Amino acid sequence: MPTALATRAPSSVSVDVDPPLLQHYIDGEFVATAARFENRSPVTGQLIAAVCEAGPAEVDRAVAAARRALAGPWGEASVEDRAAILYRVAAGIEARFEAFVAAEVADTGRPVEQARRLDVARGVANFRAFADLIKTAPSELFESRGPDGATLLNYVSRKPLGVVGIISPWNLPLLLLTWKVAPALAMGNCVVAKPSEESPSSATLLAEVMRDAGVPPGVFNLVHGFGPGSAGEALTRHPDVAAITFTGESRTGSQIMKTVADGVKEISFELGGKNAAVVFADADFDAAVEGVRRSSFTNAGQVCLCSERVYVERPIFERFVAALKARTETMRLDYPDAPGVDMGPVISHKHRDKVLSYYRLAVAEGATVVTGGGTPLFNDIRDAGAFVQPTILTGLPDDARCVTEEIFGPVCHIAPFDSEQEVIGRVNDSAYGLAACVWTTDLSRAHRVSRRFHTGLVWVNTWFTRDLRTPFGGTKLSGLGREGGRHSLDFYSEITTICIRL
Ligand SMILES: O=C(O)C(=O)/C=C/C=C/O
């Protein structure tokens, strides 16, 4: 299958002789530690940076700094003060927009255009959205009569949770880190953030922006490292951390639940998915083909919302598979800054090998590989990267592992269906429940089926279009809780109900 390959000379991804050292950010200062790990380009395998690794001592220092900040001016900051600082952070990201694009691209190898349009744009939007929200968020007050006839005023008072631990993933590094940092700070908390070891660069740049925006020392802390036995575990175990918000794999979420259980910490999880796209015969055909291509292959399939299961109504099944194959085979896998690039590599060799193991499993399970199924051949330095081909599978039963397990790569399995009732049952027959996508021009049907999906999110005739005021999250193995709009305010604050007898 000829995926369009570039024949350009190596891109601007170059490596300094002494790669930069990415440090922690604790109590308003950058802190180096002797323990370090490598950060390599998934495009070429070249060394990008050395990264300091935090252990329990650094996490302790960060949590202590956060507690001091809570007891200081930050703890007394008004809504207006906090909103003003968040607007300054948003402006700070904007002022260094291209530096954030470069950082995100260096770590992930994604197309520059995507990093601009999605990742960094959302980094700015997330801070602005929650600064706006806290200025207009209503409170609750109910007036009632007591048993003695006296008037009772019942109102809600919100306080910060305290120190919030944030563990963010490598697939949308800046988007997902700021999606949690912004509301946490908006509600007056202090944070200790641990970005994925695969994507430390934009988080480190964010720390510089925080410092320059005047975020007080200790309010935002950043520790680099791994999960178990490293900074991530130290953060989840820390007795002075009041809450953990985590985006990542479901089994890691389960592990964190066990770790925080004794302390009964607040948790908010956005976990894995095995999302379905459903294409009815009455859909706008071309829009559905392009929509499923996007929802299957955006970010090399490394978005928790991507469609790895596609169900197409039988009358258009063959035509749809052929059209998606043709469209997919025009996709350009290339350097992040290559003109017209559609898809970069997956995040690492380790993840590439996991994705390829599922490509092999699919064949073993009896799948037809309509297109892809392997790695592209560039005959240049990109062959040392982590590229995999966008892949379309058909012919597997619903209980095949490739149809039930999250692969988190550029792959989808397409199956025909014959009725609305049948496809709803098949979509819901999953251990996950994050997102679904429906393509139909029958809007009664759109509402009808959307309401019957056991998922936290449904998109109709679109995908991954986001209103930040809406609740976002999944059910079953896909997560716990919702973040977004007032749902973030609810998670990142402690509520006290006060009753006054007049
Ligand atoms: O768009 C969002 O706010 C969000 O949380 C996206 C999550 C995607 C995960 O892979």
Bridge-based pairing of strands 141-145 and 151-160 is: antiparallel
Residue 65 lies in a domain: yes
Alpha carbon distance 470, 466 (integer Å):
8
- Flag whether pLDDT at 14 surpasses 60: no
pLDDT digits (tens, 9 = 90+) for 89-99: 999 999 999 99
Ligand 1 pocket, Cβ-based, cut-off 6 angstroms: 171-172, 176, 179, 303-305, 466, 472
The 3-state DSSP class for residue 241 equals: coil
The verdict on 344 and 220 lying in the same domain is: no
Comparing CA positions, the residue from 206, 201, 159 lying closest to residue 180 is: 206
Ligand 1: atom nearest CA of 484 is 3
> What mean pLDDT value characterizes the chain?
96
Residue 122 lies in a domain: yes
The confidence score (pLDDT) of residue 10 equals 41
Confidence of residue 19 (pLDDT cuts 50, 70, 90): confident
CB 40 within 8 A of CB 47: yes
DSSP H stretches of helix in 384-461: 401-404, 420-428, 443-452
Bridge-based pairing of strands 391-394 and 457-460 is: unpaired
Ligand 1 centroid to Cα of residue 170, in Å, is 12
The verdict on 206 and 253 lying in the same domain is: yes
The verdict on 426 and 279 lying in the same domain is: yes
The verdict on 316 and 232 lying in the same domain is: no
Alpha carbon distance 457, 493 (integer Å):
24
Comparing CA positions, the residue from 139, 410, 206 lying closest to residue 293 is: 410
The verdict on 90 and 51 lying in the same domain is: yes
Comparing CA positions, the residue from 446, 450, 396 lying closest to residue 427 is: 450
The verdict on 384 and 412 lying in the same domain is: yes
- Flag whether pLDDT at 309 surpasses 60: yes
Q: Residue range 292-306: average pLDDT?
A: 98
Q: Residue range 258-282: average pLDDT?
A: 97
CB 346 within 8 A of CB 171: no
pLDDT digits (tens, 9 = 90+) for 96-116: 999 999 999 999 999 999 999
Residue 386 lies in a domain: yes
Q: Which structural domain range is residue 493 located in?
A: 11-271+478-501
The verdict on 266 and 279 lying in the same domain is: no
- What CATH number did the domain enclosing 402 receive? 3.40.309.10
Distance of CA 443 to the CA centre of its chain: 29
How many domains does the chain fold into? Answer: 2
DSSP 443-463: HHHHHHHHHHS-SSEEEESS-
Alpha carbon distance 263, 337 (integer Å):
47
Ligand 1 centroid to Cα of residue 229, in Å, is 27
Residue 102 lies in a domain: yes
Name the burial class of residue 467, with classes exposed (0-12), middle (13-18) and buried (19+) by CB atoms within 10 angstroms of its CB: exposed
Question: Residue whose CA is closest, atom 6 of ligand 1?
Answer: 176
Alpha carbon distance 141, 155 (integer Å):
4
The confidence score (pLDDT) of residue 261 equals 95
Question: Residue whose CA is closest, atom 7 of ligand 1?
Answer: 304
Residue 6 lies in a domain: no
Q: How far is CA 74 from CA 65, 182, 275, in A?
A: 12, 15, 41
The verdict on 24 and 118 lying in the same domain is: yes
Residue 1 lies in a domain: no
- Flag whether pLDDT at 4 surpasses 90: no
Q: How far is CA 118 from CA 174, 196, 304, in A?
A: 10, 19, 15
Residue 337 lies in a domain: yes
Residue 207 lies in a domain: yes
Residue to probe by mutation, ligand 1, list 308, 346, 466, 478, most atoms within 8 Å of CB: 466
Question: Is the whole model's pTM more than 0.80, yes or no?
Answer: yes
Q: Residue range 438-457: average pLDDT?
A: 98
Alpha carbon distance 226, 170 (integer Å):
12
The verdict on 296 and 441 lying in the same domain is: yes
pLDDT digits (tens, 9 = 90+) for 51-83: 999 999 999 999 999 999 999 999 999 999 999
pLDDT digits (tens, 9 = 90+) for 140-176: 999 999 999 999 999 999 999 999 999 999 999 999 9
Confidence of residue 18 (pLDDT cuts 50, 70, 90): confident
Question: Residue whose CA is closest, atom 9 of ligand 1?
Answer: 304
Alpha carbon distance 128, 160 (integer Å):
19
Alpha carbon distance 202, 312 (integer Å):
39
- Per-residue DSSP letter, 216: P
The verdict on 262 and 304 lying in the same domain is: no
Alpha carbon distance 170, 439 (integer Å):
29
The verdict on 312 and 194 lying in the same domain is: no
CB 205 within 8 A of CB 224: no
The confidence score (pLDDT) of residue 17 equals 54
The verdict on 341 and 404 lying in the same domain is: yes
The 3-state DSSP class for residue 285 equals: helix
Ligand 1 centroid to Cα of residue 176, in Å, is 6
- What CATH number did the domain enclosing 38 receive? 3.40.605.10
- Flag whether pLDDT at 5 surpasses 60: no
